[in-house]
């Protein structure tokens, strides 16, 4: 049996989809699990021993319709699970003759292209994103009744790449190695550079080594605020490939971030993953908390987020102190 998981969005979402592969393997040990994702998430998916093959949607999109159909047919796919709904992929799956096509009933076009449509609401649910994903497997007689943190064992996040010496040589052998991922490319509410600067000062005074990560554009946004001349403060923004970043995260002690891909990567590797979240649905930690052996979440002690500053900065996020986060590290 060949099962294709389709999730063509961002890194964090992809990480939280990987437990589906583990659950499928547990129920059907002989099944072959394929993962349809975008090029930039390939190195994340490759870390999971539960995924047998990656299909690159970024490349498939460049093909004409006939070639796309031929490509999927040659994989002999029995079942496709549309974890992230995509009308183009749903249509292609039907044209390719995939027998079982699973997609949420909340997408009208799935009534044209899917033949298994579980009905559940993500927006109003109290369940974690990873638990909600499992609901798509109901027709395969797969369910999960434990807490979302118990899903960590299904990641299969064991194929972590080795870390090149030029990066490993940066790691401290005396203090802790702490990664701070201060930006989110607009995908999450942020803790604020002022708070990150306060945390940096506390960590440096404690003898820890601090690494700042992010893309090059993100580095331009935080360098003037966060960087200063110190041997234990290192800017890695824009310098690593995703594969190198995964390897580096796995060798660090802790990572601090808002609800971003690197936070979920850190949790999956098993290091201390400290997430900072707003208390507002549907972006609260109940839905998006990192899943791992050593995770910690901070969120404002309010039933919901009631105030934002300048329409952008989140007062609930800013209210979490650097001293609180430092104490947890």
Average pLDDT over residues 26-38: 97
- pLDDT-derived band at 309 (thresholds 50, 70, 90) equals low
Position 120 pLDDT exceeds 90 = no
- pLDDT given for residue 8 in this prediction: 96
The pTM score is 0.94
In the predicted structure, residue 70 carries a pLDDT above the cut 70: yes
- pLDDT tens per residue, range 248-274: 999 999 999 999 999 999 999 999 999
- Nearest CA among 254, 198, 205, 213 for reference residue 230: 205
How many CA atoms lie less than 13 Å away from 211 in the CB half-sphere? 27
For the stretch 197-219, pLDDT in tens is 999 999 999 999 999 999 999 99
Confidence of residue 194 (pLDDT cuts 50, 70, 90): very high
281-303 pLDDT tens trace: 888 899 999 999 899 999 988 77
Buried b (16+ CB within 10 A) or exposed e, 242-275: bbbbbbbbbbbbbbbbbbbbbbbbbbbbbbbbbb
CA dist 203 and 221 (Å) reads: 21
Residue 310 reports pLDDT greater than 70 = no
Both tokens assigned to 28: 């059907």
Tell me what percent of the residues of the chain surpass a pLDDT of 90. 85
pLDDT band at 42 (very low <50, low <70, confident <90, very high): very high
pLDDT score of 312 more than 70: no
Average pLDDT in the chain: 93
> Is residue 188 pLDDT above 90, yes or no?
no
Please say if the pLDDT value at position 311 is more than 60. Answer: no
What is the per-residue pLDDT across 43-62, written as a single tens digit (0 to 9) for each?
Answer: 999 999 999 999 999 999 99
For residue range 130-179, list pLDDT tens digits in order.
999 999 999 999 999 999 999 999 999 999 999 999 999 999 999 999 99
* Domains present along the chain, CATH in parentheses: 2-154 (3.40.50.2000), 165-328 (3.40.50.2000)
8 Å CB contact between 247 and 265:
no
How, if at all, do strands 32-37 and 53-56 pair?
parallel
């Amino acid at each position: 049996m060949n099962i294709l998981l389709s999730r063509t969005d961002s890194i964090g979402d992809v990480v939280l989809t990987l437990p589906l592969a583990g659950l499928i393997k547990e129920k059907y040990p002989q099944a072959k699990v394929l993962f349809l994702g975008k090029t930039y998430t390939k190195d994340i998916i490759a870390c999971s021993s539960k995924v047998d093959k990656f299909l690159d949607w970024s490349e498939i999109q460049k093909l004409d319709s006939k070639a796309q159909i031929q490509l999927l047919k040659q994989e002999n796919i029995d079942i496709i699970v549309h974890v992230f709904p995509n009308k183009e992929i749903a249509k292609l799956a039907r044209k390719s003759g995939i027998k079982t096509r699973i997609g949420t009933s909340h997408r009208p076009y799935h009534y044209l292209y899917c033949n298994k449509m579980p009905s559940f609401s993500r927006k109003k649910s109290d369940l974690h994103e990873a638990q909600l994903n499992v609901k798509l497997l109901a027709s395969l007689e797969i369910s999960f009744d434990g807490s979302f943190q118990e899903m960590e064992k299904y990641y299969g996040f064991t194929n972590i790449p080795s870390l090149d010496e030029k990066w490993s040589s940066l790691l401290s052998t005396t203090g802790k190695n702490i990664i701070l991922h201060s930006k989110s490319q607009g995908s999450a509410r942020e803790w604020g550079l002022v708070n990150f600067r306060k945390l940096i000062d506390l960590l440096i005074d404690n003898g820890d080594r601090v690494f700042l990560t992010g893309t090059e554009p993100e580095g331009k946004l935080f360098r003037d605020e966060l960087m200063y001349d110190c041997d234990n403060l290192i800017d890695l923004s824009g310098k690593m490939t995703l594969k190198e970043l995964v390897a580096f995260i796995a060798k660090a002690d802790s990572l601090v971030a808002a609800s971003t891909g690197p936070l979920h990567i850190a949790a999956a590797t098993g290091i201390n993953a400290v997430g900072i979240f707003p208390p507002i649905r549907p972006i609260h930690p109940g839905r998006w908390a990192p899943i791992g052996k050593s995770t910690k979440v901070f969120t404002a002690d309010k039933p919901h987020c009631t105030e934002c500053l300048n329409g952008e900065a989140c007062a609930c996020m800013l209210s979490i102190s650097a001293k609180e986060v430092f104490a947890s590290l």
